[in-house]
């Protein structure tokens, strides 16, 4: 695995400069009819694991500063229980119910940067929303969610480095159709 890049300004610049390259990867993967989704996901998971292990999110927190985070009803209740605040107070202070966009969304965290971010650490780590727990998510269905993943490459070092390494390995012929 090449050295990972974690400087956020460099990540943003590189990701924008390589956007077309990453889009070509998406087209390549969508055209690989004989590569099934599970095999591709296993390849991606193997690429991502050492990169995720090498990057310390507690030194970054750029997602917590940059992204809109959706919350489910269960997330909201977990925050209420963990913070010992009534659910309606959690909603008033932290959650915009009108911003929910999908059936399973209860609302969105109001503030950006996130109101629960203290320095570069999450002050509600044990109660954080499921969306935060999963981010950044590459699998399942890497091939069919890559368009969304690409949008995160300019802000998330993990995403940028994983996509870079996938491009390198695909170009080297390491991903074979069965
Ligand atoms: S709840 Fe925690 S992990 Fe989620 S965005 Fe806020 S600070 Fe980050
Ligand atoms: S998930 Fe990405 S953006 Fe968020 S803290 Fe980790 S490296 Fe930074």
Mutual angle of helices 157-171 and 8-17, in 10-degree steps: 40
How far away, in angstroms, is 89 Cα from ligand 2 center?
29
Model pLDDT for residues 3-61, shown as the tens digit of each residue = 899 999 999 999 999 999 999 999 999 999 889 999 999 999 999 999 999 999 999 99
Q: Span 68-89, mean pLDDT?
A: 96
Is any ligand 2 atom within 6 A of the Cβ of residue 62? Answer: yes
Instruction: Give me the pLDDT at residue 104, please.
Output: 81
Q: Are strands 117-118 and 121-122 parallel, antiparallel or unpaired?
A: antiparallel
Residue with tokens 């309606």: 88
Q: Span 64-90, mean pLDDT?
A: 96
Q: Span 139-166, mean pLDDT?
A: 97
- pLDDT bin (cut points 50, 70, 90) of residue 146 is very high
Instruction: Give me the pLDDT at residue 176, please.
Output: 79
Is any ligand 2 atom within 6 A of the Cβ of residue 157? Answer: yes
51 close to 1: Cβ distance less than 8 angstroms: yes
How far away, in angstroms, is 168 Cα from ligand 1 center?
32
Q: Which has more confidence, 3 or 156?
A: 156
Q: What is the DSSP string of 71-117?
A: E-HHHHHHHHHHHT--HHHHHHHHEEGGG--STT--EEES-SS-TTE
For the chain, the domains span: 8-63+136-171, 68-133
Distance CA 76, CA 91 (A): 8
Q: Span 71-87, mean pLDDT?
A: 96
Model pLDDT for residues 94-117, shown as the tens digit of each residue = 999 999 888 888 999 999 999 999
pLDDT tops 80 at residue 1? no
Model pLDDT for residues 117-143, shown as the tens digit of each residue = 999 999 999 999 999 999 999 999 999
Is any ligand 2 atom within 6 A of the Cβ of residue 164? Answer: no
Q: Span 64-79, mean pLDDT?
A: 96
pLDDT tops 70 at residue 161? yes
Is any ligand 2 atom within 6 A of the Cβ of residue 149? Answer: no
């Amino acid at each position: 695995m090449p050295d990972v890049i974690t400087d956020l300004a460099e990540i943003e610049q590189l990701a924008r400069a390589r956007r077309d390259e990453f889009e070509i990867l998406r087209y390549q993967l969508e055209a690989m009819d004989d590569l099934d989704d599970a095999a591709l996901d296993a390849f991606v998971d193997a690429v991502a694991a050492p990169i995720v292990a090498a990057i310390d999110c507690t030194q970054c927190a750029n997602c917590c500063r940059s992204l809109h985070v959706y919350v489910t009803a269960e997330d909201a209740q977990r925050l209420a229980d963990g913070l010992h605040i009534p659910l309606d107070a959690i909603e008033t202070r932290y959650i915009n119910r009108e911003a929910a966009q999908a059936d399973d969304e209860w609302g969105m965290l109001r503030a950006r940067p996130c109101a629960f971010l203290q320095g570069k650490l999450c002050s509600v780590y044990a109660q954080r929303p499921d969306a935060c727990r999963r981010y950044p998510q590459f699998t399942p269905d890497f091939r069919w969610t890559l368009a969304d993943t690409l949008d995160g490459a300019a802000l998330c070092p993990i995403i940028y480095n994983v996509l870079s390494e996938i491009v390198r390995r695909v170009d080297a012929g390491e991903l074979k159709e069965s």
